Amino acid sequence: MSKLIVIGMQWGDEGKGKIVDLYSEHSEIIVRSQGGNNAGHTIVKGSNEYRFHLIPSGILYKHTTCVLAAGVVIDPQFLIRELQGLQDNNIDYENRLYISEHAHIILPYHKLLDLAQEKGKGKGAIGTTMRGIGPCYADKINRVGIRVADFLHEATFEEILRKNVTEKNKYLTNIFNIDPLNADDIIKEFSAYRPIIKKLTRNVESFLFREMERNRPVLFEGAQGTLLDVGFGTYPYVTSSSTISSGVLASAGVGSSYDVQITGIAKAYLTRVGNGPFPTELSEEEEKIFSNANENLRETGTTTGRKRRIGWLDLVLLKYSTQINGITHLVVTKLDILDHLDEIKICIKYEHNGEKITNVPSLMDELNKVTPVYKTFPGWKKSTETVDTWNKLPLNAKKYLEYISEYIERPIKLVSVGPKSDQVIWKN
């Protein structure tokens, strides 16, 4: 492995953290290039469980350098809390964590606006994490955002901040009936963060160019999932950044001329947090059967703590994600969750207006109305949690996985059968 992008193929929560951790062991540079602390990775090592939201999980390996690239939005308060967590676990990040000067800073008004806007939508709410991610990206696009470079220059920071606070207070007070923010209070609070951020800031773009040219092993750690991409996801029920493979490189300031492998991560079934269309979502009765058969089913978001909606694997969506990302191979996670089901369904096409279709409707109203057409597989009714080679998998499990691979026309490289790092099956 020289250069690799790890991408979620669904609505996030695919188990990317564990896979990134596996690949991090053989990487020297780990890059996070989009999103913020709205993402969440859980890593299980022995009896220890680590949760990461902003810092790349590759920081657990002493030989790695981890990067928060230009496309990331950074909440300094949250970052410092996560850094403290590393220190508490005796994980050294000195000279191993770099922040791009071009990354944008999340301010208190971003969080307030996120909360107010989401609540104001009522039943039409997107289901955001309400951590200020969207409003921060909006400011970036509107050219009024504050970058790390601006934040580190005290006079520039104060000038932009005061203008922004004046403008944001109009919305907070007049539209949302929220008490106005005080610019002096924000300046005072954030001045304490400056020395810590400054120590971590580097010319990340030059660093990455140099290391890519040297053909160093670089791992790009995708956040969220393809179906949450702001351009190609189930819009408007999406995140605020580009989550697809080309977006990962662009957001890191890395050109597309390098030979990069793209690993797509997909659960053996499907989940979604928040609102939005979900063609294969289980009925209440089906979910009860699904849950009762799986004592290891823990479907709550690492970041939000919210219960995830559950459904059967949707190959129409998965093939769409395969094409959008140009993935070279697939990793299937959480196969063990299906171990004790009598039968397992996979959506292979949709029925829409009396026609069978295999494309994903762009209009959410249409996607909401499609009826999934299923292929049913017999369950394998055996635990896969201790299986360590492909040949030892139950026959029905292999048939299930092989069908997925054939449908999306990409090989499966790895199967995960539990939360621990050694619960994996390499196909080749």
DSSP per-residue string spanning 342-403? SEEEEEEEEEETTEEE-S--SSHHHHHH-EEEEEEEE---S--TT--SGGGS-HHHHHHHHH
Neighbour tally for 200: CB within 10 Å: 18
Q: Does residue 304 surpass a pLDDT of 60?
A: no
Read off the pLDDT of residues 97-113 as tens digits, 9 standing for 90 and up.
Answer: 999 999 999 999 999 99
Looking at domain 267-426, which of 3.40.50.10790, 3.40.50.2300, 3.90.170.10, 3.40.640.10 is its CATH number?
A: 3.90.170.10
Catalytic: which of 13, 21, 150, 229?
A: 13
Burial of residue 259, with CB atoms counted within 10 A of its CB: 0-12 exposed, 13-18 middle, 19 or more buried:
exposed
> 104-195 domain in CATH 1.10.300.10?
yes
Give the per-residue pLDDT at 294: 66
Which of 41-45, 70-74, 271-275 tops mean pLDDT?
70-74
DSSP for residue 341: -
Give the per-residue pLDDT at 286: 85
What are the residue ranges spanned by the domains of the chain?
3-103+201-262, 104-195, 267-426
- Specify whether 314 is catalytic: no
Q: Does residue 174 surpass a pLDDT of 70?
A: yes
**pTM for the whole thing?**
0.92
Which of 130-134, 171-175, 176-180, 396-400 tops mean pLDDT?
396-400
First to last CA, the chain: 14
- Specify whether 259 is catalytic: no
Provide CATH code, domain 3-103+201-262.
3.40.440.10
Q: Rounded distance, CA 158 to CA 238, Å?
A: 32
Q: Which of 125-134, 215-224, 348-357 has the lowest mean pLDDT?
A: 125-134
Q: Rounded distance, CA 75 to CA 137, Å?
A: 12
Catalytic: which of 21, 26, 41, 75?
A: 41
